[in-house]
Every structure is written in structure tokens, then in C-alpha cells.
Amino acid sequence: MRNKVANEAAAHASFRCGHVAIVGRPSVGKSTLLNALVGQKISITSKKPQTTRYRITGIATDAHAQFVFVDTPGFQTKHRSRLNDRLNRAVQESLADVDVVVLVLDAARVTEADLAVIALLPPGVPVVAAANKVDALADKAAFMARLAEIAQLYPFAAIVPVSAEKGTQLPALKDEIAKALPQSAPLYPEDDLTDRDERFLAAEFIREKIFRLLGDEVPYATTVAVDTFEMDGALRRIHATVYVDKPGQRAILLGEGGLQMKAIATHARSDMEKLFGGPVFLEVFVRVKRGWADTDASLARFGY
Ligand SMILES: Nc1nc2c(ncn2[C@@H]2O[C@H](COP(=O)(O)OP(=O)(O)OP(=O)(O)O)[C@@H](O)[C@H]2O)c(=O)[nH]1
Ligand SMILES: [Mg+2]
């Protein structure tokens, strides 16, 4: 018995655990990376910048470490709006209290927007650079020079070329992060995947499909709320509302004969069933709520 206790104490003494903020400019692949590191789709992704609007954690536990990854919105330097100010504040806040930062860069280029994010990095916190999308690199020789350029930008603890989409070099990235984590017992049970509940994830999956299926303008004018979420035996019954800013956007979202909205709901439901591991009944309404993104009160209501 004493030996068992001693062994557990020894195991904890070498176990590492902490919060790892994933930051970077919009669309570099932060959420794709979080999902790949966790091995489940937790955080929504799309080709459009500023898909992520909420802070969300993804938890990965192995024999030696527990990583509590914190996904953040892309740090926005171009468009000022009340919502964007909030998102930028969320990035700064998630940097305030973390053990390690992963700065995601695009392996193809370093931009002014990357430099703006680097300027936010908190002194004294180890930062690992992940040069993402190496699968899409056309010129591998130029990439070697870029790695040298990246090394000049900040005293990174390590620079790891990765592909979040293909899963390339993720164990190497995890090793570098683990080295920088503090020794600590795990903070979450080992099979926990996120700090967010199914209600939140359901709303996010709907938002993802809007970002993926609609044109450039409408997704930015929408937000999603889950009105009811009930268990009916093994079935999850979910009623949600998509809010838009103008009646014209409602028409676009619904599409001819409601077909667009139907496609959004079908795709969202399929993701929910995969993650929740059971059948889902989903009904989505679309309502116009003018100026939902313009007042602090309504932003707070939608959890921003
Ligand atoms: N080729 C390639 N594409 C990638 C890779 N990782 C992400 N992407 C794509 O890049 C786009 C943006 O990915 P996201 O994960 O949503 O990026 P993000 O940084 O979270 O974006 P925001 O939340 O909007 O700031 C998506 O179309 C992804 O499929 C990668 O390793 N290779
Ligand atoms: Mg994202």
C-alpha cells in the first residue's frame, strides 16, 4: 500500500499540466490545430477570418501531461467594431494567465498582423511557434529562410513546422509544449475534452455551417442562441435561433423554400451526433434583431 502511494506521488511529481493559449492572426489555423491536438472537433473552423468568437478550451491528456489548450479569436487589426474590440480583448485576457503560448503562423508568410500579435506576447511566458500549413508550401527552399526569419522575431522556446490539417509533426509540437509546462497534477479528469457544455457546442456547430455555406457578408451579421436543449431518452431535442441584423439577411439565410437553412441544420446536426454520440433532433429559427452586435447589453446576452 505504501508503495502504491509512493508511486502515485512519484508519478505526479513528474506529471505536467497547464493552460496553453493558442493565438495568432485570423485564419492561420488555430482552431484546426486545437482540434487536431485534442483529436476531436471541439472548435469551429472555416475559410473565413474571425470564425472563432468565443474562448474555448480543448483538453488532451497523455501518460505524462495534460494540456488545457485555449483557443482564441484571431487578433483583428483591420476592422474596428464593438464585437471586434471584444474579441481582441478576449485574446489579451487569455494571454494574461497561461503557462505556455502557442503562436500559430502561416508557414508561407509572416505579415504585419503576425507582428501585432507578437507585440501582445506576455514577457516571461514560454512561447512555442507553430509554422502551420506546411502541406501547402510550394517553395520548400524559401521555407528554410522563413524559419530563420521567424527565429529573429521573438525568443521562442521552439519553432515547429506543422500541418494541423494533415496532422504532421503534432507529437513534436506537443513535446515542445510539455517541456514548458509546470509540474502539476491534472486539472481535469482524463477523458474530459472541453470546458464547454453541449448547449454551447450545438450553437457553435450551427454557426460553423453558416460560415461555411454562406457568402462573405451574412455570417458576420449572425449569431446563434440555443433556446431549449432537452434529453428525451437518448435523443437530444434542440431548438435554436439564428439572429441576423436585417430582413434581407434572413431571406439569404433561409434560401429558396428554406433550403439553405435546411442544409445548415442538417450539417450541424451531423456534427452534433458525432460529438455527442447519440441522435439529435434540431429545429432552427431565423429572427431579425437589429443592431445585436452594436450594444454591450445585447453582446453580453449572446455570451460575448
Ligand atoms: N492547407 C492547410 N490548411 C489549413 C491547415 N490548418 C488550417 N487550415 C485551413 O485554414 C482555414 C482557417 O482555419 P481555422 O482553424 O478556422 O483558422 P483560425 O486561425 O482558427 O481562424 P479564426 O478563428 O477565424 O481566427 C480553414 O480553411 C482550414 O481548413 C493546414 O495545416 N493546412
Ligand atoms: Mg478559430
Cell digits of residue 189: 479528469
**Ligand with smallest separation from the Cα of 91:** 1
Q: How many angstroms separate the alpha carbon of residue 302 from the centre of ligand 1?
A: 25
Given the DSSP bridges, would you call strands 16-23 and 100-106 parallel, antiparallel or unpaired? parallel
Ligand 1 contact, 84 CB (< 6 A): no
Residue 11 has pLDDT above 90, yes or no: no
What gap in Å lies between CA 14 and CA 297, rounded to an integer? 46
Ligand 1 contact, 163 CB (< 6 A): yes
Q: Is the pLDDT higher at 214 or at 2?
A: 214
> Tell me, what's the pLDDT at 1?
45
Judged on CB neighbours under 10 Å (0-12, 13-18, 19+), 153 is middle
Give bridge partners of residue 161 from the DSSP assignment. Answer: 131
CA angle 226, 83, 249 (to 5 degrees): 60
Q: How many angstroms separate the alpha carbon of residue 54 from the centre of ligand 2?
A: 9
pLDDT > 70: what percent of the chain? Answer: 96
What gap in Å lies between CA 168 and CA 170, rounded to an integer? 6
Residue 4 has pLDDT above 60, yes or no: no
Cell digits of residue 111: 505579415
Q: Which single residue is written with the C-alpha cell 494533415?
A: 166
Mean per-residue pLDDT over the chain, rounded = 93
pTM, 2 dp: 0.94
Residue 7 has pLDDT above 80, yes or no: no
**Ligand with smallest separation from the Cα of 117:** 1
Sheet of 280-288, strand order: 223-232, 235-244, 280-288
Ligand 1 contact, 219 CB (< 6 A): no
What gap in Å lies between CA 171 and CA 175, rounded to an integer? 6
Q: Which single residue is written with the C-alpha cell 434560401?
A: 255
Residue 125 has pLDDT above 50, yes or no: yes
> Tell me, what's the pLDDT at 296?
86
Q: How many angstroms separate the alpha carbon of residue 225 from the centre of ligand 2?
A: 19
Ligand 1 contact, 273 CB (< 6 A): no
Average pLDDT (112-119) is 92
Pick the residue whose CA is nearest to atom 8 on ligand 1: 29
- For 116, what's the count of Cα atoms within 13 Å in the CB-facing half-sphere? 14
Q: Is residue 206 within 8 Å of residue 280, measured between CB atoms?
A: no
Torsions phi, psi for 295 (to 5 deg): -125, 145
Q: What is the pLDDT of residues 26-66, one digit of tens each?
A: 999 999 999 999 999 999 999 999 999 999 999 999 999 99
> Tell me, what's the pLDDT at 21?
97
Q: What is the pLDDT of residues 244-283, one digit of tens each?
A: 999 999 999 999 999 999 999 999 999 999 999 999 999 9
Ligand 1 contact, 161 CB (< 6 A): no
How many Å separate Cα 277 from the centre of its chain?
21
Q: How many angstroms separate the alpha carbon of residue 257 from the centre of ligand 2?
A: 31
Ligand 1 contact, 43 CB (< 6 A): no
Closest listed residue to residue 260, CA positions, set 216, 213, 211 = 213
Q: Is the pLDDT higher at 215 or at 79?
A: 215
Q: What is the pLDDT of residues 132-159, one digit of tens each?
A: 999 999 888 899 999 999 999 999 999 9
Average pLDDT (214-230) is 95
Sheet of 158-161, strand order: 56-61, 65-71, 16-23, 100-106, 127-132, 158-161
The answer to which of 8-17, 85-94, 99-108, 128-137 has the lowest mean pLDDT is 8-17
Who surrounds ion ligand 2 at CB < 5 A?
30-31, 51-52
How many residues are given for the chain? 304
What gap in Å lies between CA 239 and CA 227, rounded to an integer? 5
> Tell me, what's the pLDDT at 90?
84
Q: What is the pLDDT of residues 272-298, one digit of tens each?
A: 999 999 999 999 999 999 999 888 888
Pick the residue whose CA is nearest to atom 27 on ligand 1: 47
Neighbours of 278 (CB within 10 A): 12
What gap in Å lies between CA 295 and CA 287, rounded to an integer? 18
Q: How many angstroms separate the alpha carbon of residue 43 from the centre of ligand 1?
A: 11
